Amino acid sequence: MLVTLKEILSETIEKKYAVPALNGHDFFTAQGCLLACEQMNKPLILMYSGDFTFPYAFRQDVHMRMLLEMGRCSKVPVCIMIDHAGSYELCLQAIHYGCGGVMIDASTQPFDKNVEIVSEVVKAAHACGVSVEAEIGHVGGYEGTPDEGVAKPEFYTKPDEAERFASLTKVDALAVAFGSNHGPYQGTPHLDIPRLQEIRKRVGGLPLVLHGGSGLPDEEFSKAVENGINKVNYISGMQINCANAMRKLSEENAGKRLTSRQLMEVGVDAVVAETKHILEVFNTQALDMQASASEAVTANNYR
Ligand SMILES: [Zn+2]
């Protein structure tokens, strides 16, 4: 069933777990994620992005129907959302398509401008019963700088800013920077857990999001989840592991007949196995939809 971001995260703080936010960029990876969550009876967030998904889609609207239909037909709660939308327009488009959440990223803007942009999106999204995630502080990566792969402490989220940002914007989930980085890491990353604890204290019942999960050791994930993280974005790591499984099959079959279907099968198997693993690491729990039914929103009924 399709649910909103707010609904899918509704029990995460009390029960101290995180919901994985995984790859909705392509059909076969999305299938693997969903198969694993159905087998484990766990909720799933599938994300797409304007930059990475649509250039390769047959048509944007068809890709979105595919994701939404997968969620609609699923036995477990699924939230479809746009990740790192850079504009108000992209968020409106996601709402129009029927997403249960949007992430508006204005984290490179000064504080006041970030608040202004996010507040506009919140106003529109909440009118449609759709939840909003935003980012305060900045999780780096993909910027093409020589020190890429290293989290920069000057961009870490300041706990007092997180508190002010949450109360000014009324967002439903907040991405915070405390040592993670998008894409591969240089060296072993260490999360600033005391900072996360302080942010958790300041924002109370607001779910917190970890971006740049790929490459973090399991122990760091566990510490993050125990100390206040409720959604983990995990994309690159799964794409790499999936590609490695396909590469292995390809190498084993060098010079022999090999089909795209065989490659996709090992790819999906790798995605299923990894999704099951991270569900354990994130301590993801089955969502009690009866309990969160009071949060049911018009958009959800509309779907
Ligand atoms: Zn991110």
For the segment 175-207, what is each residue's pLDDT rounded down to a tens digit? 999 999 887 787 888 899 999 999 999 999 999
Contacts of 44 (CB under 8 A, 6+ apart): 19, 20, 22, 33, 34, 37, 74, 76, 77, 78, 79
pLDDT digits (tens, 9 = 90+) for 236-257: 999 999 999 999 999 999 999 9
Helices (H), the chain: 5-8, 12-15, 27-40, 60-73, 88-97, 111-127, 159-169, 193-203, 218-226, 236-252, 260-281, 298-302
pLDDT digits (tens, 9 = 90+) for 225-237: 999 999 999 999 9
What domains lie within the chain, and their CATH numbers? 5-302 (3.20.20.70)
The answer to whether 130 and 99 are in contact (CB under 8 A) is yes
> What residues pack around ion ligand 1 (CB closer than 5 A)?
211
Centre of ligand 1 to C-alpha 120, Å, is: 21
Query: Is residue 293's pLDDT more than 70?
Result: no
Centre of ligand 1 to C-alpha 141, Å, is: 9
pLDDT digits (tens, 9 = 90+) for 9-64: 999 999 999 999 999 999 999 999 999 999 999 999 999 998 888 888 889 999 99
Query: Is residue 291's pLDDT more than 90?
Result: no
Centre of ligand 1 to C-alpha 234, Å, is: 9
In percent, the amount of the chain with pLDDT more than 70 equals 92
Catalytic residues: 83
Whole-prediction pTM: 0.93
